[in-house]
Amino acid sequence: MYSSLVGGSHRWCVDLEELFLLVVEDDQLIRESLLDWLDSVLPQWDLLGISSGEMVELAHGESPHTIVVDLTSPNGDRVDLVRRVTRQFPQADVVALTMRGDYATRRAVLKAGASASLPIWKLSEKLELVLRRLLEDMHRERVEQRP
């Protein structure tokens, strides 16, 4: 099934079959709030929110297209979580939400395997755009791989 998505001034066609977005967030209230917001801006996606401890249970089940991982914690950013997620779901794009927006943090997160890094304070402003661009890239790769 194909549908046109309009995001800002961008317009593209995307294969919407079974799009699955996984949110990895340890705080249940934040996880539920993020899922509610994502459902309102990306209603065509199947959404699932889990804690980082529940990732093992998901390993043999669902296969997400994109994963949003909140790396913020009282002890700073948890770059090791990006490594775990990308090892477990190597086919998925990973968007890491961080406490800091500095170059060193962004570089460490991308080196760990994330497709994108976004400071948590820019979430409402930029996350939808980042997800739509990753979706556009995913669609472009599928089209280019067709015989």
Residues 54-68 pLDDT 10s: 887 776 666 899 999
**Would the pLDDT of 16 be above 60?**
no
User: Among the residues of the chain, which ranges form H helices?
Assistant: 28-41, 55-58, 79-88, 103-111, 123-145
Amino acid symbol at 37: W
Phi, psi of 21, rounded to the nearest 5 degrees = -115, 125
**Would the pLDDT of 143 be above 50?**
no
Residues 18-28 pLDDT 10s: 689 999 999 99
Q: What is the arithmetic mean of pLDDT over 75-99?
A: 87
Q: Which residue in 100, 137, 133 sits closest to 117, CA to CA?
A: 100
Amino acid symbol at 97: L
pLDDT of residue 55: 81
Radius of gyration (Cα) for the chain, nearest Å? 15
- What fold characterizes domain 19-138? Rossmann fold (3.40.50)
pLDDT of residue 61: 64
Q: Are 70 and 24 in contact, with CB atoms under 8 Å apart?
A: yes
H or E segment to which residue 45 belongs: none
Residue 31, Cβ density class (10 Å: 0-12 exposed, 13-18 middle, ≥19 buried): middle
Q: Which residue in 105, 126, 125, 124 sits closest to 114, CA to CA?
A: 105
pLDDT of residue 19: 83
**Would the pLDDT of 8 be above 60?**
no
Give the C-alpha separation, 93 to 141, whole Å: 13
Judged by phi (left if over 0) then psi (alpha if -120 to 50, else beta), residue 113 lies in: left
